[in-house]
Amino acid sequence: MIFKIALLGFAILPVSAANYYLAPQGADNAAGSINAPWKNLDQAQNKMGPGDTVFVRGGTFAGVNLNWTKSGTAGKPMVIKAYPKETPIFTGSGLNYFVQSTGQYIVFDGLEISGYTRSAFNPTGGGFLTIRNCNLHNILANEYGAITPQNCHDILIENNVFREMGRSLDQTLFDHAVYNAAGSHDIVIRNNLFMNSHGGPAINHYHTPSPYNVLICNNVFIMTLGAERSGVFVGDGAHDVKVYNNTFYLDGKGATKCYGVHFNSGFGTNEAVNNLFYFSNWPIDDAVILPGNDKADYNLYFPAKDADDAGAHSFAADPLFADAAGTDLHLAASSPAINKGMTLPSFAFDKDGNQRPIGGGFDIGAYESKDGITGIIGRWASGKRASSGSSRKSRVSLEKGSLIFFDRNKSPAIQGTEPGGFDAFDTFDAKGGRLPKLSEPE
pLDDT at 10: 39
Which of 8-12, 146-150, 151-155 has the weakest average pLDDT?
8-12
Q: Rounded CA gap, 203 and 200, in Å?
A: 8
Assess whether pLDDT exceeds 70 at residue 1. Answer: no
Higher pLDDT: 401 or 293? It is 293
How confident is the model over 152-178, as a mean pLDDT? 82
Which of 15-19, 76-80, 332-336, 338-342 has the least mean pLDDT? 15-19
Residue 46: pLDDT above 90?
A: yes
Distance, CA of 350 to CA of 315 (rounded, Å): 21
What distances in angstroms separate CA 329 from CA 301, 356, 380, one per listed residue? 14, 17, 31
pLDDT of residue 199: 73
What's the distance, CA 2 to chain centroid? 17
Any bridge partners for residue 386, and if so which?
Answer: 396, 416
pLDDT(123) > 70:
yes
Does the pLDDT at position 396 exceed 60?
no
In the chain, where are the structural domains located? 4-331, 375-435
- Starting from the edge strand earliest in sequence, which strands make up the sheet with 295-297, in order? 19-22, 53-56, 78-82, 104-109, 127-132, 153-158, 185-190, 212-217, 239-244, 271-273, 295-297
Comparing 46-55, 190-199, 328-337, the range with the smallest average pLDDT is 190-199
Q: Which residues have C-beta within 8 Å of that of residue 361, sequence separation ≥ 6?
A: 339, 340, 341, 343
Torsion angle, CA of 44/45/50/56, rounded to 10 degrees? 40
Q: What is the mean pLDDT of residues 297-313?
A: 95
Q: How confident is the model at residue 162 (pLDDT cuts 50, 70, 90)?
A: very high
Taking alpha carbons only, the member of 299, 305, 302, 308 closest to residue 342 is 299
Task: Give percent of the chain with pLDDT exceeding 90.
Answer: 58
* Cα gap 282→126, rounded to integer Å: 41
**Which CATH superfamily hosts domain 4-331?**
Single-stranded right-handed beta-helix, Pectin lyase-like (2.160.20.10)
Q: Is the pLDDT of residue 405 over 90?
A: no
169: pLDDT confidence band, cut at 50, 70 and 90?
Answer: low
Percent of the chain with pLDDT over 70: 78
Contact 362, 339 (CB under 8 A): yes
Q: Check residue 293 and give its pLDDT.
A: 81
pLDDT, tens only, 208-256 = 788 999 999 999 999 988 888 899 999 888 899 999 999 999 999 988 8
For 86-99, how does the pLDDT look when each residue is reduced to its tens digit (9 = 90+)? 999 999 988 999 99
Q: What is the pLDDT of residues 316-341, one digit of tens each?
A: 999 999 999 888 999 999 999 999 99
The torsion region of residue 269 among left (phi > 0), alpha (psi -120 to 50) and beta comes to alpha
User: What is the pLDDT, as a whole number, of residue 226?
Assistant: 81
Residue 234 to residue 222: CA distance in whole angstroms: 19
249: alpha, beta or left, given left = phi > 0 and alpha = psi -120 to 50? beta
Q: Specify the pLDDT at position 377.
A: 46
The Cβ of residue 368 has, within 10 Å, a number of other Cβ atoms equal to 29
Q: So what's the pLDDT on residue 170? A: 56
**Does position 440 have pLDDT exceeding 80, yes or no?**
no
The predicted structure's pLDDT at residue 345: 80
Quick check: 60 and 34 in contact, CB under 8 A?
no
Poorest-pLDDT segment among 81-90, 133-142, 199-208, 212-221: 199-208
The whole-chain average pLDDT of the chain stands at 82
* Stretch 52-63: mean pLDDT: 97
Confidence of residue 346 (pLDDT cuts 50, 70, 90): confident
